[in-house]
């Protein structure tokens, strides 16, 4: 599952959608839903940044996930 997915309120590990800081134990500042995504934000500044252009951050998350998925499916890791 995605490291940016905060749709489960009890998730032990999620990354801030803006600064990618690791957030553990549900200690996020805020959770925001944007389209299909529920993201976690670590602080007021990141929340403000996300709200100013949510589309850009969601696209970045999608790109990061695509890259990581591609890497994890690489035959080199088998």
State in angstroms the smallest separation of the CB of 72 from Zn ion: 24
Q: 20 or 62, CB closer to Zn ion?
A: 20
Question: Where do contacts with Zn ion occur on this chain (CB under 5 A)?
Answer: 16, 18-19, 21, 42, 46
Supply the minimum distance, in Å, between the C-beta of residue 47 and Zn ion: 8
The two structure tokens encoding residue 24: 């553990």
CB of 50 to Zn ion, least distance (A): 9
């Amino acid at each position: 599952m995605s490291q940016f997915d905060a749709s489960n309120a009890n998730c032990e590990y999620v990354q801030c959608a803006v600064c990618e800081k690791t957030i553990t134990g549900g200690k996020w500042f805020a959770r925001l839903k944007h389209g299909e995504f529920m993201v976690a934000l670590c602080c007021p500044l990141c929340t403000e940044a996300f709200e100013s252009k949510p589309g850009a951050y969601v696209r970045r998350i999608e790109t990061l996930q695509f890259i990581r998925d591609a890497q994890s499916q690489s035959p080199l890791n088998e």
